[in-house]
A and B are shown apart, each in its own frame.
Chain A
Amino acid sequence: MISVKSYLPPPVCRQEIWRYAGGEVTAAEGLLDECLAEIEGRLSYRVCWRETAVHTDGKICRFDGFSVPSASLSAALAGCERAVVFAATLGVELDRLVAKYGRLSPAKAMLLQAIGAERIEALCDTFCAALGGTTRRFSPGYGDLPLSCQRQVFDLLDCSRRIGLSLTDSLLMTPTKSVTAFVGLTDGGIITNPNKCSGCDKADCPFRGDL
């Protein structure tokens, strides 16, 4: 069964926003306040998901009804018997604001973009926290998990109808501030999520957190 839930806005972390914006906390606090006021009440925080059995043999991950060839995902879900596949989105309003200010004030557009990155991550954290113990989130495009696996995820979760999330022909998600991911359920035991960047091999990523 596909479950759907809308969340209340998670608390805002300004430091994270500035990290995504490529600036410092003190860079333009006034502008950030303006942007935060503008998104107030305009974002949705929607998630749809399915819980599924998972079997991994190190190369292929098998879920209920579909399987994915990926050693990286197998490693990420190693030891888990159950997993959750989910899709989360902030809705179209943020894209509308970014598009508007992209034409009128690129500084605001860039800050709104950074806010979106922080908000969607916060939504995923909130959702995963409610699942109890989980592994680190693993998304299509990470490691050797092909981006094309998005199509399967979208079919499985009926994303367009459930949360208004769709996929472009080039496999980008619209609304753009959205995440799809797999997480293994660890029965409330060890949460193997010390750092969300630790499993990623993109060493030159400008947003890479401290490891």
Chain B
Amino acid sequence: MTFREYLKQNIVYLDGGMGTLLQAQGLQAGERPEGWNLSRPEVITAVHAAYYDAGSHVVCTNTFGANRLKFSADELEQVVAAAVANAKAARERSTAPQEKFVALDIGPTGKLLKPLGDLDFEQAVETFAATVRLGVKYGVDLILIETMNDSYETKAALLAAKENSDLPVIVTNAYGEDGKLMTGATPAAMVALLEGMGADAVGANCSLGPRQLYGVAEELLATASVPVVLKPNAGLPRVADGETVFDVAPADFAEQVATLAQRGLRVMGGCCGTTPAYIQALCAATAGISPAPLTDKGRTVVSSYTHAVYFGADPLLIGERINPTGKKRFKQALLEQDMDYILAEGVNQQEKGAHVLDVNVGLPDIDEAALLERAVCELQAVTDLPLQIDTADPAAMERALRRYNGKALINSVNGKQESMAAVFPLVKKYGGVVVALTLDESGIPATAEGRVAIARRIVETAATYGIAWKDIVFDTLAMTVSADNTAALATVAALRRIREELGCHTSLGVSNVSFGLPRRDAVNSTFFALALENGLSAAIMNPYSAEMMQTYYAYRALKGLDDNCGDYIAAADTFGATVSAAPTAPIPKGDGLLTELQHAIVKGFKERAAELTAERLIDTPPLDIVNGEIIPALNTVGEGFEKKTVYLPQLLMSAEAAKSAFEVIKARTANHGQAANKGVFVLATVQGDIHDIGKNIVKLLLQNYGFEVVDLGKDVPPEAVVEAVVERHAPLAGLSALMTTTVPAMEQTVRLLKQRAPWCKTVVGGAVLTPAYAAKIGADTYAKDAMETVRYAETVIANQEGNGENYV
């Protein structure tokens, strides 16, 4: 019988701890247990055999840390081959009657993935893939991915397993006392991610004893449609008489796990501190329990790296602002690869109450696949909301889905064969909930009947790809009511029928309905209410629209979805006409020395600076505001900083206020051609270094002083810096390094720049650098802080202009 077949019908017993037993036999602290597969095979085989004898259906190979980060390719092959052979030898030796399987054990790499750490996602996938391929080669029955404490690394491991084998995969995560992974994911979020990608069973292992994992187990049982796994520790370790002992005895352990088996737990074993005695006790304690039938929970769910978001009676708001359609400033940001602008749109929509963010960066003449992938990764560094990946290009969709940390919402597929053939394989492979538009080769049916018929066909076709109805959300297409006064009714009728007849959830881009009408928000928000009452589950909408938000909160209050109308009351303050944010302290009017705008900048009042700039723009040319007010104000603060009368926090607050003023000007000039710029400054934190606060401060000030900053981010390889400098023929490059260990990378970057971009001046900075050190590694100058960098950059540009060169 295959493992998959066995799992369907039965309770499955895994094995218990390995490390604890090896330590008892002399494994030293810091020694690699995997090495014992080769040096002490008889010990490993005996441990496996003892677990089979105790009743385990599955033993896990001694390969927890067997990966390419810790072993060479040859060593790894030897280790995995020996490990599988040891487990198979144990299976031969054991006379126990139950079905016996060998699982390839895969533990975490021990490294954090980017952006938090330095391990690239694809490198993680390849690291796991190497181990998976060997497990397949040497003939394991299944793969067990365990003790993962980060959702992204878990995804990398599962993806590697799926791309390199057809074996069943069990995935268990290590949850902390707070019931979450170290990087923040809840059990529900992990279930969404892992089921979406096709894990055969999901669960928890290690960290805590069975009782402390009850909360986690309950959440897994409540959300998972696949079998739930639990492999807890034997409680907590303590030292008694010089020996490490665990505080939960076999009988207690078995009883505690058995309680969960009665509630539906299907796969169980032990982790640290457990021994064959624990498994034996567990088998005995659960012998009379019949396996709980597996039921599809039928929930439509997306997730981020922290939490799951469910479609249901409580409507979801999908923020639509990350989209260039009809937005000149956004288009400009995309063309300039100004990610900060895009990220700010994400964070602002979250603050307004969006539950999911739509991400669309499609423009003619840009590499959408690369930009969408980048936008998704960078957004996931600033917001924990699930994302809706919005593109018509399947290549872009795949790159974004692959890198997305969680189970994404995908926008969109439609009833055309070509669309389904391109999109469904991606949904199946990477997981996701896909928005399906009710149109096909013949266009958009005018009637609800026609749209429902397409929806049915989409559900049927999806099923042939192995995609369940619950992972499809229908958009019945809001059409312009000013062109056809029955358009809204057809859309709404189709919504209701799809909810009732197919059970699928729904989503609408509501604002199309009002196209061509005045006061569009009034039409949109009423249509929104109408659609909600007819089964709309989610709306793609503008969270900055007061009318839409009012409708949302009012609807929830009226439908009994808002206890004591608490959310409505809390949000009501923001419903009035746009309330201008009052400055936190009174700002003196122009006092002869500084104008009001200058005061706002000097004092660091961001919102006020933006408002005043907007007012000044009514009757003043943008350049006059920049040169006559903003730059002098910045200089006042900058000079104060240089004289040490102004401290860094104040300098930064002023710089941010100036930036918000510039942003208002930029929004205006986006409509009237390009703004002036002094020159291109390429900026990076060097390879191996992940500290970028200093670099970001330099960037902010350079931007304020009119430089176009190409920010390459942190941990940037020398070649990437050179490429950017050459591509833009940049006159200036700034490099930052915080640690002595990363200064060699800085030296290498400077050297490469001198060879391949000799025109470019290099500025270096960072905690461990000194002017002498900067000279030694060949940099043109050392800057002790951001102001010094600005001053140097200005000098370089001035000299070049004097030479008649023009780099802009």
Contacts and interface: CB of A to CB of B under 8 A. Distances in A.
A30 B112 CA distance: 34
A103 B382 contact: yes
Contacts of A64: 29
Contact of A147 (B344, B382, B741): B741
Contacts of B95: none
Contacts of B652: 106-107, 110
B688 A168 contact: yes
Contacts of A107: 604, 649, 652-653, 655-656
Interface residues of A, number: 54
A164 interface: yes
B734 to A, nearest CB: 15
Contact of B649 (A27, A66, A166): A27
Contacts of B116: 92, 95-96, 174-175
B119 to A, nearest CB: 8
A166 B656 contact: no
Contact of A109 (B147, B206, B696, B741): B696
A54 interface: no
B29 A164 contact: no
B213 to A, nearest CB: 16
Interface stretch (A16-24, A67-75, A128-136): A16-24
Interface in A79-129: 91-93, 95-96, 98-100, 102-107, 109-111, 113
Interface string B183-219: 1100000000000000000000010000000000000
Given A21-B648, A23-B648, A168-B118, A99 B30 contact: no
Nearest to B28: A65
A175 B149 CA distance: 13
A186 B647 CA distance: 41
Nearest to B738: A172
Interface string A5-44: 0100000000000000111100110110000000000001
A169 B149 CA distance: 20
B117 A174 contact: yes
Given A28-B650, A31-B653, A65-B30, A160 B693 contact: no
A1 interface: yes
B690 A27 contact: no
Nearest to B206: A161
B237 interface: yes
A44 B340 CA distance: 28
Given A23-B648, A24-B647, A28-B650, A103 B696 contact: yes
Given A1-B244, A27-B649, A161-B147, A110 B688 contact: no
B347 interface: yes
Contact of A100 (B108, B347, B693): B347
A104 B340 contact: yes
Contacts of A171: 739, 741
A92 B182 contact: yes
A91 B656 contact: no
B697 A176 contact: no
A41 to B, nearest CB: 10
Given A152-B30, A174-B112, A99 B147 contact: no
A174 B690 contact: yes
B117 A170 contact: no
Contacts of B237: 1, 3
Given A147-B741, A155-B30, A160-B111, A99 B650 contact: no
Contacts of B340: 103-104
B117 A22 contact: no
B655 to A, nearest CB: 7
A169 B382 contact: no
B787 to A, nearest CB: 13
A170 B118 contact: yes
A60 interface: no
Given A164-B149, A166-B111, A102 B696 contact: yes
12 contacts: A6-B177, A22-B649, A28-B653, A31-B649, A98-B693, A104-B344, A106-B697, A107-B652, A161-B147, A168-B117, A172-B741, A174-B112
